[in-house]
Amino acid sequence: MHVLSVFGTRPEAIKMAPVVKALSAEKGIRSITCVTGQHRTMLDQVLALFDIKPDFDLAVMAPNQTLNGLASRVMAGLDDIFAEVRPDYVLVHGDTTTAMAASLAAAHRNIKIGHVEAGLRTYDLAKPWPEELNRRVIDVAATKLFAPTETSADNLRAERLGGEILVTGNTVIDALKETVGRIDNDPAIRTRLEAQFSFLDPSRRVLLVTGHRRESFGDGFLNICKALAELSRRADLQIVYPVHLNPNVSGPVHELLSGKPNIHLIEPQEYLSFVYLMNRADIILTDSGGVQEEAPSLGKPVLVMRDVTERPEAVAAGVVRLVGTDAQRITGEVERLLGDAAYYSGFARILNPYGDGLASKRIAASLAGRDIAPFAI
């Protein structure tokens, strides 16, 4: 059986890396990978770390690309590859334009689709935009729906979709476990990471920040920067912010925060370094989907700069809190965590609602036609 995995952005690559590995270990499967190159630098960082050499690279990224330009380049590029590879299954991940366009292209060619990370929903097409639309389109078209949790599987069941639903856990936990293991077991890597982040002051607490959601472009990012500027005045805190390469993010962030004492604006980090930073952080402030899933596994409190989330499990467990993009609210929530030790320790608990590290093996086994025991918390 030919399984063609298609991905193109940083988070898809991190979450598909363990799946690609698990597929290669299946005797009955020929695993083929195609990266779209929706991201270039941030994708290549992940491919290098996990030693993935794609069979195809569509290299579609353009500076400040439009969604339609991107989607059309992905669909046209994949059509040629489908003709060459004749895949039995196209495997996509999550909710990016790469994943949505790849699914449409596969559906137009009557090729079966497997959707990794199926069933996440906010039921608000504007939040996140365009991801809520993308994942629903993919789920309608998919034959195999690999839901990370029971909650996401319940969403799919309620929608009465045609695909087979399997609860697998989220593959991000597979990638995280492997990466934490590499850091823990290799003193040379640890020494390198410590040297790389020797600018961090051990006497100050660390606030790690990431952000990139399209619905926060404009006022949202201005507010986030205002909150960070305010927080940077605290002598007990240092802010580390790997800035996303989207010009709608990097533009205002560099303009408003460059040169501020206590704020380290750094390049997007390769995954190993970012996992190290998450482990060093006292608080994580983010709008990232993947980080919301990883941080509870590391016992780090997360404040999510959004109004809704498709990942309600950690919010319900009390280790992730939605804080929106209001500057005062963000500042207040960070200060509460810094100032109230009992409140902080209620948040800083290690939990694994999103996976057990075996999601990729379940996905590969299912594609190979074997029965799998689902992920259960």
Residues labelled catalytic: 95, 117, 131, 212, 214, 244
If the CB atoms of residues 31 and 94 are measured against ligand UD1, the closer one turns out to be: 94
Sheet holding 302-304, edge to edge: 263-266, 237-242, 205-210, 283-286, 302-304, 320-322
Interface of this chain with ligand UD1, residues 28 to 47, rule: CB under 6 A: 38-42
**Among ligand UD1, ligand UDP, none, residue 211 binds (CB under 5-8 Å by kind):** none
Q: Judge whether 29 and 35 are in contact, CB under 8 Å.
A: no
CB of 278 to ligand UD1, least distance (A): 16
Interface of this chain with ligand UD1, residues 226 to 245, rule: CB under 6 A: 245
CB of 363 to ligand UD1, least distance (A): 21
217 binds ligand UD1 (CB under 6 A): no
Window contacting ligand UD1 (CB under 6 A); options: 8-16, 19-27, 188-196, 351-359: 8-16
How many angstroms separate the CA atoms of 193 and 191, rounded?
A: 5
How many angstroms separate the CA atoms of 218 and 317, rounded?
A: 32
Size of the site for ligand UD1 (CB under 6 A): 24
> Which residues contribute to the site for ligand UDP (CB under 6 A)?
10-11, 14, 172, 210, 212, 242, 268-269, 271, 274, 288-291, 294
Rg (CA), the chain: 20
63 binds ligand UD1 (CB under 6 A): yes
CB of 218 to ligand UDP, least distance (A): 18
Closest among 294, 372, 363, 314 to 144, alpha carbons compared: 363
What does the angle CA 189 – CA 194 – CA 198 come to, to the nearest 5 degrees? 155
Q: Which residues of 50-84 are buried (b: 16+ CB within 10 A; e: fewer)?
A: bebebebbbebbeeeeeeeebbebbbebbeebbee
If the CB atoms of residues 31 and 292 are measured against ligand UD1, the closer one turns out to be: 292
**Among ligand UD1, ligand UDP, none, residue 130 binds (CB under 5-8 Å by kind):** ligand UD1
Q: What are phi and psi of 126, to 5 degrees?
A: -90, -15
DSSP string, 59-88: ----TT--HHHHHHHHHHHHHHHHHHH--S
Interface of this chain with ligand UD1, residues 86 to 145, rule: CB under 6 A: 95-97, 130-131
If the CB atoms of residues 246 and 366 are measured against ligand UD1, the closer one turns out to be: 246
Q: Judge whether 15 and 172 are in contact, CB under 8 Å.
A: yes
CB of 172 to ligand UDP, least distance (A): 6
196 binds ligand UD1 (CB under 6 A): no
**Among ligand UDP, ligand UD1, none, residue 290 binds (CB under 5-8 Å by kind):** ligand UDP
How many angstroms separate the CA atoms of 201 and 203, rounded?
A: 5
Binding residues vs ligand UD1 (CB under 6 A): 9-11, 38-42, 61-65, 67, 70, 95-97, 130-131, 212, 245-247
